[in-house]
Amino acid sequence: MDTQKPYNEEVHPKTCIIANPIYDTVFKKLMENERIAKFFLSTVLEQQVVSVDVRPQEFTYKKAQKPAPAPTDIGYSIFRIDFMATIETAQGEQKKILIEVQKSHDEDDLIRFRSYLGEQYKKLDRVNGVEIVLPITTIYILGFNLADISSPCVKVERTYVDMIHKKRIEVKAPFIEKLTHNSYVIQAKRITDERCSTKLDRLLSLFEQAHFISAESKIGKQYLHPSGDEEIQFITSLLHEIIADPKEREEIEKEEEALRIIETLYGKKSREQKQIIEEQAKALEEKDKALEGQAKALEGQAKVLEGQARVLEEQAKQIAALKQLLKKS
């Protein structure tokens, strides 16, 4: 923690210190605010969110009691939060959807993402006292980079295609909509300050992983972008309040320490396992190349022997012909 620079100190007239929303404790605080939740979801989905209802969520952290805690002592689990949202379509129609937001610092959380999504598909939701199946939309906020995808925000959208006539179908079927879903992926580490012109740019700028006020910690950072947008001003004010509150800051520090412990316990092991697998794959590849070389050598020998056999066969024919001539003479 950088004790030389108080969190309530303005670094620049147009900048302030804010809590890093990549941390679950901070993001949870934001999403508990209905105004911020509606702005976040509307901006990412590019649809008007009329109302949001926060659903049960997972957010677990227990302070370790041991100097060198075992994995079970950490109590840190993947963060997820669900909203039942009412959105207004471009045609003015209002419909309810289930929006699932998940955050992850590790690519290995993929299986947990799939497992939880499977659980969501099995659930019925209650709307106006009636149990129904709602369409699902997922938003993933990643603390790691996806290989070969440089965009900080990606929409994975479904389309219907008539396979007989090879053309796109414009209408949507409720049955299909409830079996499949659109996804949005935000890569926090790919967000830069190169552009901040659109509403989405300004929202993403809050998650930019840069300008930290301490070399040892990433829980607080300078927000360097113009804050002319009223909603962004509202969010940065709340983020500033969070980092300035000693109790709130302590909770973020607990999460940071938990992530550090997880990296210590699992990161090294995971990297070692990956290295072993890569070395084994390389050894198998070299073995395959060696066997391929041996096969080519044997193939070459077989061709030589085949040629020799043809020569011997020809010689045998010539000898037989000479014997026939000798008999006649």
- Structure confidence at residue 102 (pLDDT): 78
- Structure confidence at residue 240 (pLDDT): 94
- Structure confidence at residue 260 (pLDDT): 80
- Structure confidence at residue 70 (pLDDT): 43
pLDDT in tens, the chain (329 residues): 344 344 444 444 445 899 999 988 899 889 889 999 999 999 999 888 888 887 766 554 444 444 444 444 444 445 678 888 888 877 777 778 878 787 777 676 677 777 777 777 777 777 778 888 888 888 888 888 888 899 999 999 989 999 999 999 998 898 988 888 889 999 999 998 777 788 999 999 999 998 998 888 899 999 988 767 899 999 999 999 999 999 999 999 988 888 787 667 665 555 556 567 667 777 787 887 888 888 888 888 888 888 888 888 888 888 877 777 777 76
- Structure confidence at residue 3 (pLDDT): 41
Place of tokens 């105004």: 35
- Structure confidence at residue 59 (pLDDT): 53
The three-state DSSP-derived secondary structure of the chain is CCCCCCCCCCCECCEEEEECCCCHHHHHHHHCCHHHHHHHHHHHHCCEEEEEEECCCECCCCCCCCCCCCHHHHCCCCEEEEEEEEEECCCCCEEEEEEEEEEECCHHHHHHHHHHHHHHHHCCEEECCEEECCCEEEEEEECCCCCCCCCCEEEECCCEEECCCCEEECCCCHHHHCCCCEEEEEEHHHCCCCCCCCHHHHHHHCCCCCCECCCCCCCEEEECCCCCCHHHHHHHHHHHHHHHCHHHHHHHHHHHHHHHHHHHHHHHHHHHHHHHHHHHHHHHHHHHHHHHHHHHHHHHHHHHHHHHHHHHHHHHHHHHHHHHHHHHC
- Structure confidence at residue 63 (pLDDT): 43
